[in-house]
Homo-oligomer: A and B are copies of this chain.
Amino acid sequence: MGEASLVFPADEYRARIARLQAGMAEQGLDALLLTSPADIFYTTGFLTRFWESPARPWFVVVPHAGDPVAVIPSIGADLMGRTWVSDIRTWDAPDPRDDGTSLLADALAQVVAPHGRIGLPMGPETHLRMPLQDFEAVRARLAPRRFVDATACVHRVREVKSEAEIGKIRSSCIIAARAFARVPEFAQAGRPLADVFRDFQIALLSEGADWVSYVAGGAGPDGYGDVISPAGAAPLQRGDVLMLDTGAVRDGYFCDFDRNFAIGPASDTARHAHAALWQATEDALTALRPGMLARDVHHLLSDGLRRRGMTPGGGRLGHGLGITLTEWPSFTPLDESPLRAGMVLTLEPGCLTTGQRIMVHEENIVLRADGPELLSPRAPEDLPEIMP
């Protein structure tokens, strides 16, 4: 029971499978078919950057009882063999005649009776990571077995993190915080934003990130135009607000938070916006409790901004976090997902400043029974100024 696996001991994965199987039983699912990097990593510990290659599909089948079955390209056999999974079936992919579909259909047919139900995540924030034609062939071959949506089944399990997972996310957050502390070393007026992004990634790696899956940001007077762009060649200018946002990864777990810096003395507008964002976050850090809904957090943050004279802007005001950069729920007026103890979340208020510009601020928390515990070391209330 305590044997080795990758990233965590095998017991961590066994507990996850048990929770998934409890959810499957409630929904009357005989098996679960998983195809996404995150779901496969979650159930097996199979951690690789090889997902960058779209050439091959990978499958994990979770039966209603017993251990999962990995149905994977043979190029992954060595690595999967070092996880806790023992039933590993491989084929030489890519195979234009049959790229794992027969092997997958056989694995599912073994654990699902002809009138059984196979759960597959098909809902919000999911993608089927296999060719659609191959899926339709597998579905036809397995009929009268039915594929039904298992998004909720997977999400209700993955959204509540174990202490081991929380520890990993905290580690990523601490690495990013150390890199943010070094931003004044390389973000001076006159430096192209593209070079600042490179140096920030170097700082993240130097501080212990395994890899840096996400860096975005922007810079401009009193704010920036959006929060998802790669860097351009334009140099930072005195008077800019620079924002850097990162999803750095350690042991397969992300952080996702940002920090703002004034290049030279901060303008009153930027200083006031930063304080309002910080204080609205403080409101949420005080008030959040399990049992609230996702939309309540949106209300808390946007109300906090309005009471301080700011107009909310920049999209949703936070989201889940874990083995992908963003997870459900979303802090929007429409998301009625209940918040649960053990959820790891970002608080990400944004507000309009001048012109078409915005400023955003972000922290990472784990929600405990008595409220949020910060995972990202708290930003300073006052917008830091980088002086030449």
Q: Which residue of B lies closest to A132 (CB)?
A: B122
Contact mask for chain A residues 59-84; partner B; CB cutoff 8 A; 1 contact, 0 none: 00000000000000011111100000
Q: Which residues of B contact A198 (CB under 8 A)?
A: 205-206, 209-210
Q: Which of A49-57, A299-307, A376-384 contacts B (4 or more CB under 8 A)?
A: A49-57
A214–B123 CB distance below 8 A: no
With both beta carbons as reference points, the residue of chain B lying nearest to A47 in the complex is identified as B230
> A211 with B210: in contact, given A53-B325, A229-B78 (CB under 8 Å)?
no
Knowing A75-B315, A215-B49 are in contact, say whether A126-B122 is a contact too (CB < 8 A): no
Contacts of A356 in B (CB 8 A): 78
A201 to B356, CA, bound (A): 36
Residues facing B in A132-182 (CB within 8 A) are: 132-133, 149, 151
Asked whether B205 lies within 8 Å of A54 as measured between CB atoms, the reply is no
**Residues of A contacting B: mostly:** loop
Is A94 an interface residue, CB under 8 A from the partner?
yes
A201 touches B194 (CB 8 A): no
Residue A216 is within 8 A (CB to CB) of chain B in the complex: yes
> Is there contact, CB below 8 Å, between A324 and B49?
no
Q: How far is the CA of A124 from the CA of B135 in the complex (A)?
A: 11
Nearest CB to that of A76 among chain B residues? B228
Per-residue CB contact flags for chain A residues 309-326 toward chain B (1 = under 8 Å, else 0) read 000001110010000111
B227 A75 Cβ-Cβ under 8 A: yes
Interface residues of A in 186-216 (CB under 8 A from B): 194, 197-198, 201-202, 205-206, 209-216
Interface string of A95-132 (1 = CB under 8 A from B): 11101000000000000000000001011111111111
Contact flag A130-B133 (CB < 8 Å), given A79-B228, A228-B76, A229-B48:
no
Tell me whether A335 is interfacial, beta carbon within 8 Å. Answer: yes
| A265 on the B face (CB < 8 A) | no
A226 interface contact, C-beta 8 A: yes
Is B315 within 8 A of A49, CB to CB?
A: no
A120 to B128, CA, bound (A): 14
Q: Which of B96, B99, B133, B228 contacts A149 (CB 8 A)?
A: B133
Say yes or no for A247: interface residue by CB 8 A criterion.
Answer: yes
How far apart are the CA atoms of A122 and B120 in the complex, in Å?
Answer: 18
The verdict on A43 contacting chain B, using a C-beta distance below 8 Å, is no
> Distance in Å from the Cβ of A294 to the closest Cβ of chain B?
10
Which of A77, A94, A123, A315 has the most chain B CB atoms inside 10 A of its CB?
A: A94
Determine whether A334 belongs to the interface, using a CB cutoff of 8 Å to chain B: yes
Answer yes or no: A267 CB below 8 A from chain B CBs: no
A24 CB to nearest chain B CB (Å): 19
Q: CB-CB < 8 A to A325: which residues of B? A: 52-53
In the docked arrangement, what's the CA distance between A241 and B95, Å? 30
A203 nearest CB neighbor, chain B only: B202
Q: Is A330 an interface residue (CB 8 A)?
A: yes
Q: List 28 A-B contacts (CB under 8 A).
A: A49-B213, A49-B214, A49-B216, A49-B228, A50-B216, A52-B214, A52-B326, A53-B324, A54-B127, A55-B125, A75-B314, A76-B226, A78-B226, A94-B330, A94-B335, A96-B336, A99-B124, A123-B133, A126-B132, A127-B127, A127-B129, A128-B132, A197-B210, A198-B209, A198-B210, A201-B201, A201-B205, A210-B231
A residues whose Cβ falls under 8 Å from a Cβ of B:
36, 38, 47-50, 52-55, 74-79, 92, 94-97, 99, 120, 122-133, 149, 151, 194, 197-198, 201-202, 205-206, 209-216, 225-231, 247, 314-316, 319, 324-326, 328, 330, 332, 334-336, 356
- Ranked 8 nearest A-B pairs via Cβ: A78-B226, A122-B132, A50-B228, A53-B326, A52-B325, A122-B133, A52-B214, A75-B315
